[in-house]
Structure formats: C-alpha cells, structure tokens
Amino acid sequence: MPVGGKSLDRLLSRAGLCSRPQAQAAIVAGRVTVNGRVLRDPQAWVDIAHDQVVFDGALLRPRPKEVWALHKPVGYVTTTDDEHGRDTVYTLLPAGMPWLSSIGRLDLESSGLLLFTNDTHFAASLMDPASKLPKVYEVRCKGPLPDAVLVQLRNGVLLHDRMTLPAGVERIDDDDRSTRLRITLVEGRNRQIRRMLMAVCSRVQTLHRVRIGPLELGDHPEGVCRRLSEAEVDSLRAAVDERRAANADAAAVQRRPC
C-alpha cells in the first residue's frame, strides 16, 4: 500500500463531501476525475498533496471539520432517507451545510442530544466501545419500580447472549403508575434502555438523552441545530482520551499476575 494518501472513496468522505457509500456510487458513475482523467475505481489510491481531484466539476478542497448538536424531537428517524417516508433528522439541519453524518442514533420515539460531524476520526473516537464515554438519559417507564429492580439495572441484565455493563441508575421521582429515572450508559447496544426495561418487566414511556460525555443538552431548543464551539469539541476529545487511558490502566491491572 502506498505511503500517504487515501483510497478515493475515503478521500471524498473525509473531505466532508458525502458519506463513503455515496462517494463510491459517485465514483462508479464517473463524476470524479483525478489529474484530468475519469477514475471509476473507489479503491484507487490518491494523494491529495500531489493529485488533482475534481468532484462534479469542482476542485476538491477539504472543508473545515465541524461538529453540530441537535435537540432531536420525537417522530424523526436518524437516517438520511427513509423508505417509509418518515421525517428524518436531516430535515432539521440548516440549509447549505457541508455533508454531515450523525454520531450514533436516537430512535423514532426518543428525543434529546444528537451530534453530527464531517470529521470521521472524531466520530469514530466517540463511538469506539473502548472509550466507554458515558451518555445520560432521562427515562419515564411503566409502573412503580422497587429499589431491588434499580439495583438489578445497575448491576446488569441479560440481553440475548450477554449481560449489559454496569450502569448508573437514579430515581428522579415516581407515582403509582410510572417511575422517572436518570440512566447513565457506557455502552451503546441497539435500543439498549428499552430492552433493559423490558427485561425487568417494565417498558419505556419516554426517553430523552441529556448528556454525552461532558456536553450537556441544557436549554437547547427542541428541533434546533447549533455548531459546537472549539472549546466544546476539545472537551469531548479530552473526555475520550481520559476514558481510554483509565480503561487501559484498569485492563493492565486485571492482566497483572497475582
């Protein structure tokens, strides 16, 4: 493999022009030239420092890396297109923005903090299971849950073939029909909180994400997207680095012979 450069599809994606699958389709369709010649191989190796890449007639100039936060409302799916015609979160992003990809997902019936970026390295670091970056949710669930059930949720419940990792579970309030909890997860299994509540014979009524690492949703208006400041992005990077270092140290201690 050549030193330096990237595959053509990855180069377009990293430049923030489109997703990698969209880049592959564009390349195969002949919409990309390299040094004046149409190149239809998405895996062709290109070095932007030496090669002239033109996409849809425009010379490739990598766009600044950006991270945006959306207060996602209920009723939107986290995808660019939906085969069932449902509203997607991308309709809430401001017009004229560079291509952005969501960092993780919130399902149709969930609301709260959702991040977007054109920085694939940053997205991968936040989603890396090794970072165990905590995410905090406020959840209303069916029924008055006794303390013993909260302990069970904290310690882990069996979902199909393996237990969930220990989670933070705090009671906010309750009544005779429902319980409101603050749940902190350090893993991101599919529809995890909904499945955890089902495992203890309850179910989610509302689910709202309020924090990712050090970043709080706060009073960010529903349905509104804003660009994160450099300080906010740096704080997320620092949190990931800190968590990775702590987890690596813990793993090293566990491997140490008695």
CATH of the domain at 240: 3.30.70.580
Give pLDDT, residue 233. 97
**Residue given tokens 């579970």 in the structure block:** 169
CATH label of the domain that carries residue 197:
3.30.70.1560
pLDDT above 80 (res 92) = yes
Provide the whole-model pTM.
0.81
Q: Check whether residue 25 and residue 93 sit in a common domain.
A: no
Select the more confidently predicted residue: 160 or 179. Answer: 179
Token digits of residue 153: 């949720």
Asked if residue 98 belongs to a domain, the reply is yes
Q: What is the phi/psi pair of residue 171, to 5°?
A: -80, 125
Q: Check whether residue 175 and residue 230 sit in a common domain.
A: no
pLDDT above 80 (res 191) = yes
Q: Which residues are registered as beta bridge partners of 71?
A: 113
pLDDT above 60 (res 1) = no
CA atoms within 13 A on the CB side of 256: 8
Token digits of residue 182: 């603050």
CA distance 138 to 103: 19
Q: Check whether residue 109 and residue 233 sit in a common domain.
A: yes
Closest CA to 60 of 24, 18, 95: 18
Token digits of residue 127: 């989603």
Closest CA to 37 of 9, 195, 46, 63: 46
Q: Check whether residue 195 and residue 81 sit in a common domain.
A: no
Asked if residue 255 belongs to a domain, the reply is no
Q: Check whether residue 138 and residue 125 sit in a common domain.
A: no
pLDDT tens string 210-236: 999 999 999 999 999 999 999 999 999
Closest CA to 171 of 147, 195, 142: 147
Over range 106-134, report the average pLDDT.
Answer: 92
CA distance 255 to 161: 25
Give pLDDT, residue 161. 81
Q: Considering 41, 51, 82, 107, which one is annotated as catalytic?
A: 107
| SS3 label, residue 38 | strand
CATH label of the domain that carries residue 28:
3.10.290.10
pLDDT above 60 (res 258) = no
In percent, the amount of the chain with pLDDT more than 70 equals 95
Q: Check whether residue 142 and residue 118 sit in a common domain.
A: no
Across 6-10, 11-15, 169-173, the highest mean pLDDT is recorded for 169-173
Q: Check whether residue 227 and residue 125 sit in a common domain.
A: yes
Name the residue range of residue 142's domain.
134-212
Q: Check whether residue 122 and residue 228 sit in a common domain.
A: yes
What confidence category does residue 118 fall into, taking pLDDT thresholds of 50, 70 and 90?
A: confident
Give pLDDT, residue 69. 98
Give pLDDT, residue 246. 80
Give pLDDT, residue 18. 82
**Residue given tokens 């389709």 in the structure block:** 25
107 is catalytic: yes
Mean per-residue pLDDT of the chain: 91
For residue 25, the tally of other CB atoms under 10 A from its CB is 14
Over range 87-111, report the average pLDDT.
Answer: 91
Give pLDDT, residue 249. 65
Q: Which of 15, 42, 59 is the last residue of a domain?
A: 59
Inter-axis angle of helices 230-255 and 120-127, nearest 10: 40
In percent, the amount of the chain with pLDDT more than 90 equals 71
pLDDT above 70 (res 72) = yes
Over range 17-45, report the average pLDDT.
Answer: 93
Closest CA to 138 of 200, 180, 173: 180
What confidence category does residue 251 fall into, taking pLDDT thresholds of 50, 70 and 90?
A: low
Over range 171-175, report the average pLDDT.
Answer: 96
Q: Check whether residue 100 and residue 150 sit in a common domain.
A: no
Structurally, the chain folds into a number of domains equal to: 3
How far CA 62 is from CA of 119, 169, 210, 241, in Å, comes to: 11, 43, 32, 26
Over range 129-142, report the average pLDDT.
Answer: 94
CA distance 113 to 227: 13
Asked if residue 253 belongs to a domain, the reply is no
Closest CA to 139 of 201, 82, 184, 75: 184
Select the more confidently predicted residue: 2 or 15. Answer: 15
Q: Check whether residue 41 and residue 162 sit in a common domain.
A: no
Give the H/E segment covering residue 32: strand 32-34
